[in-house]
Amino acid sequence: MDNACRHDVRDISRNFQILGEFRSAMPWGSGHINDSYCALYSQAGVEVRYLVQRVNHTIFKNPVGLMQNVERVTAHLATKWADQPDASRRVLTLVPTRNGRCSFIDASGDHWRVYLFIEKARTYDVVESPGQAFQAGRAFGEFQALLADLPAPRLIDTIPDFHNTPKRFASFEIALAADVAGRARLAGPEIDFALSQKSLCKVLLEANLPARTTHNDTKFNNVLLDDQTGEGICVIDLDTVMPGLAPYDFGDLVRTTTSRASEDERDLSKVFFDFPLFESIARGYLSAAGGFITKAERQHLAVSGLLITFETGLRFLTDFLAGDAYFKVHRQGQNLDRCRTQFKLMGSMARQENSMRKLVEEIQ
């Protein structure tokens, strides 16, 4: 087993239809939930990479249903890209197991899947330019557009009430009352701020917006940008693709692509909303989604950034209070640091909400 890996990737990947000999594996990416590895194989001396992933079944309680969603979504997207240049880099491709399934369950009950590795493209944890922001916006808008005609049945909810912000607020109140880790005393200002924002939580759910097939985790680092052209070439991390509201997707893009600071930055002076980045996201998203979203959805794009930045800050705070049970942490207090960046960013967005609203109305 590779020392840097928490799992025996060689042994796990043996169960998939991978050609060649195993060479090495290393942990990959910076996600908070699953475990991802880049596995290197050799075919006649030529190196071939694969992305091997463990689905966190403590969080995704129905991994079999989740994989059915992923299979259907990737198959649908593949038909859309068929015969287009670079088709195999525009959608994730599952590598089947030796017995033809889309995932493998190991002896400890962990669910594993393998994707073809998309070469000459990468993700970025922090946005570097308005051009990248435009590409991310366009790619996620296009993703919604291409899934608009996904045939029935409805995808399953891989996490029920995932973007039900009022329910997220209720979970926060329960965690606060329980204070199991005795940490509430360390987060007084953040708790007071969260409590003061209760009325914002319902703004999207009460707006009577249409349910669509949405991604629901549109972080900037969930789109691969082509190394040469910079194009947003492939939307990844499909575990939360399910019925949802379009503005939540747009909002999470705004949350993760309008600040140039890391999500857990401790120097809050570095955390602020960058309007030109917002403009690029909005132009990119609307270039692909502007033709099908309704007037009501468009009217809620500006507030969606504030809402999901609040929701995510609230989730980090709830997890801090619960003793770091949900998001991976690499140091003490990391969830509280993450909460602080979100609340700081939200304040900075709120001051520019009217300008955001105006811009979104103006873009054709």
Residues that bind ligand ADP (CB under 6 A): 28-29, 31, 33-34, 36, 51, 92, 115, 117-118, 123, 221-222, 236-237
Kindly report the three-state secondary structure assignment for every residue of 282-302. HHHHHHHHCCCCCHHHHHCHH
Contact range with ligand GN1 by CB under 6 A, out of 63-71, 132-140, 192-200, 215-223: 215-223
Residue 205 near residue 296, CB atoms below 8 Å? no
Contact range with ligand GN1 by CB under 6 A, out of 29-37, 139-147, 264-272, 278-286: 29-37
Non-local CB neighbours of 216 within 8 Å, separated by 6+ positions: 162, 163, 240, 241, 242, 244, 248, 249, 252
Interaction with ligand GN1 in 299-318: which residues (CB under 6 A)? 312
Nearer to Mg ion, 264 or 279 (CB): 264
Contact range with Mg ion by CB under 5 A, out of 28-36, 45-53, 160-168, 246-254: 28-36
Pick from 142, 231, 237, 263 the residue near Mg ion by CB under 5 A: 237
Q: Least distance to ligand ADP from the beta carbon of 116, Å? A: 6
Pick from 15, 24, 27, 32 the residue near ligand GN1 by CB under 6 A: 32
Q: Tell me, what DSSP letter sits at residue 151? A: P
Cβ count near 337 (within 10 Å): 20
Q: What tokens does 363 get?
A: 């873009």
264 lies in the site for ligand GN1, by CB under 6 A: no
Q: Least distance to ligand ADP from the beta carbon of 234, Å? A: 7
| DSSP secondary structure letters along 99-138 | TS-S-EE-TTS-EEEEEE---SEE--SS---HHHHHHHHH
36 lies in the site for Mg ion, by CB under 5 A: no
Tell me which of Mg ion, ligand GN1, ligand ADP, none is bound by residue 258, counting a contact when its beta carbon lies within the kind-specific cut-off of 5 to 8 angstroms: none
33 lies in the site for ligand GN1, by CB under 6 A: yes
Contact range with ligand GN1 by CB under 6 A, out of 63-71, 87-95, 214-222, 294-302: 214-222
Q: Least distance to ligand GN1 from the beta carbon of 361, Å? A: 27
Q: What tokens does 156 get?
A: 């399953």
Q: Least distance to ligand GN1 from the beta carbon of 43, Å? A: 31
How far is residue 23's CA from residue 40's CA, in Å, rounded to a whole number?
5
> For the range 65-68, what are the long-range contacts, defined as Cβ-Cβ under 8 Å and sequence gap of 24 or more?
65/156, 65/158, 66/156, 66/158, 66/239, 67/102, 67/103, 67/111, 67/113, 68/156
Q: Least distance to ligand ADP from the beta carbon of 163, Å? A: 17
Tell me which of Mg ion, ligand GN1, ligand ADP, none is bound by residue 263, counting a contact when its beta carbon lies within the kind-specific cut-off of 5 to 8 angstroms: ligand GN1
Q: What tokens does 274 get?
A: 């960058």
Nearer to ligand GN1, 219 or 300 (CB): 219
Tell me which of Mg ion, ligand GN1, ligand ADP, none is bound by residue 240, counting a contact when its beta carbon lies within the kind-specific cut-off of 5 to 8 angstroms: ligand GN1
In sequence order, what E strands does the chain have? 21-27, 35-43, 46-55, 104-105, 111-116, 121-122, 212-214, 223-226, 232-235, 242-244
237 lies in the site for ligand GN1, by CB under 6 A: yes
Angle between helices 165-178 and 301-321 (to 10 degrees): 20
Pick from 190, 231, 263, 279 the residue near ligand GN1 by CB under 6 A: 263
Nearer to Mg ion, 144 or 352 (CB): 144
Non-local CB neighbours of 241 within 8 Å, separated by 6+ positions: 69, 70, 73, 147, 155, 158, 213, 214, 215, 216
How far is residue 252's CA from residue 249's CA, in Å, rounded to a whole number?
5
Pick from 2, 7, 28, 31 the residue near ligand GN1 by CB under 6 A: 31
Q: Least distance to ligand ADP from the beta carbon of 225, Å? A: 10
The site for ligand GN1 (CB under 6 A) is made up of 31-33, 59, 217, 219, 222, 237, 240, 263, 312
